[in-house]
Amino acid sequence: MLALLYDIHGNLAALDAVLEDCPAERFLLGGDYALGGPWPADTIDRLDELDAEWIRGNTDRWLVDDSDAPKPVAAALAACRELLGDSRVERLAGLQEETTRDGTLFCHASPGSDMIGFPDEASEKDEELTRGVEDKRVIFGHTHVQLERTTPGGIELVNPGSVGLPFDHDHRAAYALLHDDGRVELRRVEYDWRPLVPLVRERMGEPFASRLEQARFDATP
């Protein structure tokens, strides 16, 4: 059994809740580990305790290459770099972009991209973003919306959801299990997110505090 943990975003409280709930002993970590939450370094240190394979997300790349990062996250990026320290920053930015195993492609946003995400609902983009993919399943994150569906071409799409910063109006931490028989199980875990909001506002600012508080990408202060 493999646990799929994506988009943790420095939220150690959510990560601890997921790890307490999780029955798996092996992990696939899908990127965006530190930026946006109050405990970036502690989150990385906790993940280092796991038997895990890591891939890189866009916010991990932004730690050294923020050329396509939106201006509102600049202050949070600077704070995150300082809290992580140089060695963690270099390691996160240098992670592999994707990996495959047993007919499944693991990426952050979509095959070949850490920024172009699959839509929340089925559309023609599903076929477009999987063109040329030979694997039977693609597991991705980035949009922070938990989902499972199949493209018209027969490729299974799975987003485990966000551990630390869900955007589907559900504050519960999200992750998934990939069972040995190939079955995917989507899971949600309750945790006390409310005390984190002022911490995020103090350490990372906006838009991350409002996104955590409202469980929406387009949240406003």
Assessment of whether the complete model's pTM goes beyond 0.85: yes
The whole-number pLDDT of residue 221 equals 85
Distance of CA 100 to the CA centre of its chain: 17
Which tens digit of pLDDT belongs to each residue from 101-132? Answer: 999 999 999 999 999 999 999 999 999 999 99
Q: Which fold has domain 2-214?
A: Purple Acid Phosphatase; chain A, domain 2 (3.60.21)
Backbone angles phi, psi at 175, to 5 degrees: -160, 180
Question: What are 147-190's pLDDT values in tens digits?
Answer: 999 999 999 999 999 999 999 999 999 999 999 999 999 999 99
Kind and range of the H or E run holding 44: helix 40-47
- Report d(CA 171, CA 152) in Å as an integer: 31
Tell which residue, 217, 147, 161, 218, has the closest CA to residue 189: 161
Q: How confident is the model at residue 141 (pLDDT cuts 50, 70, 90)?
A: very high
pLDDT digits (tens, 9 = 90+) for 31-90: 999 999 999 999 999 999 999 999 999 999 999 999 999 999 999 999 999 999 999 999
For 50, phi and psi rounded to 5 degrees?
-90, 155
- The ranges assigned to domains in the chain are 2-214
Contact yes or no for 118/111 (Cβ under 8 A): no
Q: Reduced to 3 states, what is the DSSP secondary structure of residue 54? A: strand
> Which residue is listed with tokens 């990385």?
44
Among 8-17, 181-190, 191-200, 212-221, the range scoring the smallest mean pLDDT is 212-221
Of 59, 96, 56, 58, nearest to 81 (Cα)? Answer: 59
